[in-house]
Chain A
Amino acid sequence: EDQVTQSPEALRLQEGESSSLNCSYTVSGLRGLFWYRQDPGKGPEFLFTLYSAGEEKEKERLKATLTKKESFLHITAPKPEDSATYLCAVRVDSNYQLIWGAGTKLIIKP
């Protein structure tokens, strides 16, 4: 069964303290891995798409990487405004819709 697992469930960091969020997947025929950011009460906001192992993408303080089993979302010197829930999802050959992880709630304290 295709599955996406995110860890940790929650992460509290001090402002400026870099860290990484993990998204591991067991799927057949990966066609893309997506990262989204969701603020409370709002719709998820697209961040990155990764298609193949070794691919990396960056946006401001965020960098996403992909291997054959997992993806990492690295956050460098985070600021309080980076606090949000970060969602990972995968697209597979046999499915029309994305398979979602449960998310990591990131809290950055000033």
Chain B
Amino acid sequence: DSGVTQTPKHLITATGQRVTLRCSPRSGDLSVYWYQQSLDQGLQFLIQYYNGEERAKGNILERFSAQQFPDLHSELNLSSLELGDSALYFCASSSDNYGYTFGSGTRLTVV
């Protein structure tokens, strides 16, 4: 157990739908990062939050949004889902912007 908790582990949904992925960071970590990893692809940075505020944005689609709550957990919202959004979505947390601790991921399948 890395200390970063992601739920759900698996999600199957239809095109056009909206889903929410949840991440609880490791205790004491203020930063949360979201990554997308498609099959046999590298990690694509989506967005970072630090203590409730958006700090950095990567290649995040306009259909995707995220937020970090006062208790530091974060949610990634994916809407108007397309087949190409099927991927593993990872959350990572850090306390000092150096090393990251990753969660076990949410596998999203859009059918």
Binding site for B on A (CB under 8 A): 31-32, 34, 36, 41-46, 49, 87, 91, 95-98, 100-103
Interface residues of B in 43-90 (CB under 8 A from A): 43, 45, 48, 50, 55-56, 58, 88, 90
Question: A43 CA to B37 CA in the complex, in Å?
Answer: 10
* Residues in B whose Cβ lies below 8 Å from that of A31: 98
Given the interface pairs A43-B90, A96-B56, the reply to whether A91 lies near B98 with Cβ below 8 Å is yes
CB distance from B23 to the nearest CB of A (A): 11
Q: Kindly state the separation between the CA atoms of A76 and B88 in the bound complex, as whole angstroms.
A: 31
Provide the residues of chain B in CB contact with A96, threshold 8 Å.
48, 50, 55-56, 97
Instruction: Using A41-B88, A43-B2 as known contacts, say yes or no to A100 and B102 having CB atoms under 8 A apart.
Output: no
A85 shortest CB reach to chain B, Å: 9
Instruction: Assess the A97–B99 pair: CB atoms within 8 A.
Output: no
Q: Which residues of B contact A43 (CB under 8 A)?
A: 2, 4, 90, 92, 102-105
A109 to B16, CA, bound (A): 43
| Shortest CB distance A44–B (Å) | 5
B105–A91 touching, CB < 8 Å: no
**A44 and B90 alpha carbons, distance in the complex (Å):** 9
> In the complex, what distance in Å separates the CA atom of A101 from the CA atom of B90?
16
CB of B11 to closest CB in A, whole Å: 14
Q: In the bound complex, what is the Cα–Cα distance between A98 and B44 (angstroms)?
A: 11
In the bound assembly, the distance between CA atoms of A33 and B67 in angstroms comes to 28
B97 touches A103 (CB 8 A): no
